Amino acid sequence: MINEDSPIVPLVQSEDVQTAVKTAHALQVGGLSVIEVVLRSQAAMDCLEAIASGASDVIVGAGTVLTANQAEEAISKGAQFIVSPGLNEEVVSHCKAGGINVYPGVVTPSEVQRAWNLGLRTVKFFPAGLSGGVPMLKALSTVFREMRFMPTGGVSAENLQDYLALPSVVACGGSWLTPQKEIDAGNFEAVTGLARDALALARQARS
């Protein structure tokens, strides 16, 4: 679900379903079709459902999933993957039992080890910038040689290529592609432009 084919996973956060759908569409037009809807608003589940049912070529997942119940509801609304800020074993086992990919957030070697022991081979590295960024990921990747990471938190157009240059980084997540100011102004072309720019940077970093 999250793999090298989609090196950027934009976050969508919205209080309004139509706005979320337009944001997802703008991202898709810009070439980003794996989208994470974060469960941080009253309308988040409805946004998720609308995006999942409206665009067949978009892969939508739920982010900021803190409990197994939230994971269950998000999956019922069409989430194809689950992302959590931390490592909650209930969320992980619930998703694994249902055959849904799950990417919990980890930072420390002990957390990576726990995730590995739970059978996970791709995890979120969150909050990436504050947790040591690229040097920390390099250190973790040296010892956990088969673990793949999705850094999120503090990733931007400025440092995207540094993260993607690491072989252990499968994709980067972030909200820089969906700036609230542009979305509030209805400037979805700006979102498309940011998506295109980011994709170009990612292709350059991976070439």
Whether the CA torsion 54, 92, 148, 135 is positive or negative: it is: positive
Q: What token pair was written down for 75?
A: 């999956």
- Binding residue count for ligand 3PG, defined by CB under 6 A: 13
Q: Which is nearer to ligand 3PG, 125 or 144 (CB)?
A: 125
Q: Establish if 81 lies at the interface with ligand 3PG (CB under 6 A).
A: no
27 binds ligand 3PG (CB under 6 A): no
Residue 64 to residue 82: CA distance in whole angstroms = 8
Q: Check residue 122 for interaction with ligand 3PG (CB under 6 A).
A: no
Q: Interacting stretch for ligand 3PG, rule CB under 6 A, among 91-99, 109-117, 133-141, 170-178?
A: 170-178
Q: Of residues 41, 159, 161, 175, which one binds ligand 3PG by CB under 6 A?
A: 175
Token pair in block for residue 25: 């569409």
Side-chain-facing half-sphere of 63: CA atoms under 13 Å: 26
In total, the chain counts a number of residues equal to: 207
Using CB under 6 A as the binding rule, whether residue 159 contacts ligand 3PG is answered as: no
Catalytic position from the list 90, 124, 138, 158: 124
Question: Measured from the CB of residue 21, what is the shortest distance to ligand 3PG in angstroms?
Answer: 20
CA angle 69/73/75 to nearest 5° reads 115
Q: Is 36 a catalytic residue?
A: yes
Q: Are 34 and 202 in contact (CB under 8 A)?
A: no
Amino acid identity at 11: L
140 counts as binding ligand 3PG under rule CB under 6 A: no
Q: Which residues bind ligand 3PG (CB under 6 A)?
A: 11, 38, 63-64, 126, 152-155, 173-176
Q: Which sequence positions are flagged as catalytic?
A: 36, 124
